[in-house]
Chain A
Amino acid sequence: MSLFGEVPQATPVAVFKLSNDFKEDPNPMKVNLGVGAYRTDEGQPWVLPVVKKVEKIIVADNSLNHEYLPILGLPEFRSSASKIALGEDSPAIQENRVGAVQCLGGTGALKMGAEFLRRWYNGNDNMKTPVYVSAPTWENHNSVFANAGFEDVRPYKYWDAEKRGLDLAGFLGDLETAPKHSIFVLHACAHNPTGTDPTHVEWMQVAEVMKRRKLFVFFDSAYQGFASGCLDKDAWAVRYFVTQGFEMFCAQSFSKNFGLYNERVGNLTIVARDADNVRRVLSQMEKIVRVNWSNPPSQGARLVAITLNTAELFAEWKDNVKTMADRVLLMRASLQAKLQVLGTPGTWDHITQQIGMFSFTGLNPKQVEYMIKERSIYLMASGRINMCGLTTKNIDYVAESIHETVVNVQ
């Protein structure tokens, strides 16, 4: 008789199962368009040249050790990370009303933000505040907020499957009818999984409604730099909302733009009314950090801090980021062109209009299954592909496979 006799087998996290299945597939033509990690044109992971450089700097520095970081993390990481999101000249930073918590990746930053909001936002321990996540969204958003105690996690209209673009009217409509003080999780850029971002004008409309209806702004910024290749461009929405006077959270991930996936480098940037509010918020954040991980891991944060705070390294990093973004743009253009040449039924402009790592191809579940089973091309059931999985060597095979799939499977 076991205490755990009744523990049911949980279904595996889809994106990781996909990678597992890909690994076990013996087909030499197989392509992994699943998990969101950058790949070179040789289909290999890429440790950024600037990262390799900084690692050597760290190894050579005998003054460094493995002591505990402060609860909120490495100070020079936190401040430089927030500057990346908000801009060097951000009025909020100048007015001393920005705080930050170093967290375990973007996930950890969302978690800390969610836990704080559940305890302190819209009353105390109010689990009933609705949390809105985009339809569709990164699947873990739902779990992060639900596990933080929020009982009402709902979708807001976002993706228009028919026109393969943003459902602005639906989005604004949900903002207008959301209960006051609802929390909205917004993708700062390179929306995951659709790759479809609002335009500047559309963001301004979103902000207007959110301000009027007193909705809480929680940005998820996992791809800054990766979307357009330019850090500032990709941060436009976040910075615009700051100029609009919002108090807000921004969960930042450095997994993709630094290629530091497994070192779990994240930052929760907090913009508040004034320094006193920031101070109190941070003191409560410490309590939450303490029961989850006590203090964050030092290696990745050190790497990022040294890079961001050293002029030549910062320049080199921006260059590395542009390299990645440019390759993605090239693959987008390539794929779209090939599908056009093949005469694949349907329109494929969304492939070049969408932005960032992912593309919502529009393939339906049956078509996805066909791609996986018959062509050994692994993509998410939603039709999401990771553009980074495409290379000059496999793009013809992928284009032909999409063509064959669309023609044969409805």
Chain B
Amino acid sequence: MRTQWSPSAAPVTPLSPLHPDDRHPCALGPMDPLRWSPSPCTSRPPSPRTPPCEMLGHVGIEAVLEQLKIKAMKMGFEFNIMVVGQSGLGKSTMVNTLFKSKMWKSTLPGLGVPMPQTLQLQSVTHIIEENGVKLKLTVTDTPGFGDQINNDKCWDPILGYINGQYERYLQEEILITRQRHIPDTRVHCCVYFVPPTGHCLRPLDIEFLQRLCRTVNVVPVIARADSLTIEEREAFRRRIQHDLRAHCIEVYPQKCFDEDINDRILNSKIRDRIPFAVVGADQEHLVNGRCVLGRKTKWGIIEVENMAHCEFPLLRDLLIRSHLQDLKDITHNVHYENYRVFRLNQSHALPRGPGWVNLAPAPADLTATPGPWKVRWQAHDSSDEEC
């Protein structure tokens, strides 16, 4: 069960109910119908072998939650986020705004730093702490994405990087003597910045999203949304949602991983607003006596955390306050497992018998995506949501 996700303020306009899912043939071929089994014990009725027992008094089992919390806080948390988009869309500013700190200096265009000729990924890691909770945050930026004249295969380095992290984890996991806690560098979430053209998704966007959705959790956002009016935003959003459905692109939160009815309701609300129209700002201004983060323009101050102005709070809540653990879980249980299956199959593993497999050397070109989600789950409640 996810924690309650509620937008920080009421949505601006009443939204028309979303039309039911149209099933469109997928451009890249049909994906396996996926169902995620509900979390192991939710809907599994107690079998005769595990009869439910009535306890006549307080035993103290719920103290295990507290123990869990203490252990988790002692170990600290890890989170890896990647921001992808063309330069000038405000990625670095967005990251700074999200985590309310200077992750890196946001680059102002034209000030001496030449546009990178090739796509280079840059990672920076920080440890941030809040109320005793330590978070090791790694942000990976992709300057140069989509900036060239010929952007063919510009997603390859990114895919290569993501798969490289999976590979690292896999190597650690198959060691004989392995560490107690394997350092997790896998990308948990990829925020994709869509330029605010106001029309629809560009071919580059569609290509990239199609490939990436199968490997990592992707959250698309409309960048620099202050150049669109509210109506334009809504129209743009609808068109993008239509495009996503037309190309069978499952962005986070994926419909097939909803655990139960509560989740589905919650996530439907989120899915309705994806992609969020966000504005990033890391400077503070004085508005009505309050100090707020915002962008100051001649015609007014756009407050980042004001739901009437932009949907940044929704993004922040989704990424940090309510679904962070879920992002990590899906990365670990689904995307990583898919990669592992793919790699182990590649190594022509002996079937169970003489024993453990040894990996074929990792291919130099790690951009091969595992393909459509190969992991199949059985659903207890047969919902007919298919991708």
Indicate whether A and B interact. no
B interface vs A, CB < 8 Å? none
Interface residues of A, Cβ cutoff 8 Å to B: none
